[in-house]
Structure formats: structure tokens, C-alpha cells
Amino acid sequence: MDFLTATARSSVEIFDIPTVTTVCVKANGWQMSKLEELFDTGFSSLATAVQPAGPAYALFTRQPSDTVDIEIGFPTSTALIAPIPAQKVTLEPGEIPAGKVASLSHIGAFDKLPQAYEELLAQVEQQGMTPKLPFFEVYVTEPSPEMDPADLRTDIFTYVE
């Protein structure tokens, strides 16, 4: 799981990752306009119930449009056996799948992530590879209301073939 906390990647790196066991909140058909609500509720529920073994993540199982199919959570050292109801969400067993990924670090506000994905995908294609689903983000810097968004670090990953 070292790839979850590695040094920031200023250029695209391609490597294989192992399966990562997680505890997560899954949402299918979630409105993109309400994504912040899911993150706030989901991560606060997870933080009180889970002993994280790494930084928070979001895994997208289809290309977002007005809605998204997503799981958000934390890596854990022990798998969750069964779903657990919590606040307005259900905590479920999950995983970041093993496979070959391309990754790039984004330093800055979340609203600039689309440009980082454009750069990642362009470099993947320049290297003759094809991106595929799912893709995921690792929130290396935990956001807080008083921090400068320019200090956030989000590592973005896409599976490649």
C-alpha cells in the first residue's frame, strides 16, 4: 500500500498495485451536484467507525455525468465482514482492485482536478496505453475548513492496458 502515501508524482508514473482492502460507502446514481454532501456524511461516518490504514479515497466505477457511481472510504488492515448501518449511510466492505495504473499528483483545490485528469489521460495515450475504468483518487492531504486549498494533494489514478 506504499503507493497510497508515496512522494508526490509531478509526472505520470505507471506501475502495478495490489488489491487494497477497504471499508466504504457506495452510491450509485448519486447526483454530482450533491457529491460534497456524500463526502461529508460518508467520511464522517467512516472516521468514527474505522481504523484507517491509509488516506481516504474515492473510486469511480463509471464515467461521471450528472450522476456518478462511486465508493468512498479508507484502506483497512481488516476486512469488514458485513455491512454496518451508520448515520445516513451504510458502511460496506470494499476494495481498490489490483492492476496496472497510471498516476499523477494534483496539488491544489479540488475544482482543478478535471485539468489534472486531462493531463493524466493525455500522457497515458502518448505512451500508447488505453485508460479503463475504474479510476480513483487518494486524498493524501486531509482537507479542513481552515486550510488553504492550494495546499491540498490529491493523487489520481486510472487503470491502463
Please tell me the predicted confidence (pLDDT) of residue 65.
94
CB 21 within 8 A of CB 4: no
- 8 DSSP 8-state letter: P
CB 24 within 8 A of CB 91: yes
Calculate mean pLDDT across residues 92-107. Answer: 97
> Does the structure show a pLDDT above 90 at 115?
yes
Calculate mean pLDDT across residues 16-29. Answer: 96
H helices of the chain, in order, are 35-49, 113-126
Calculate mean pLDDT across residues 28-55. Answer: 92
Please tell me the predicted confidence (pLDDT) of residue 23.
96
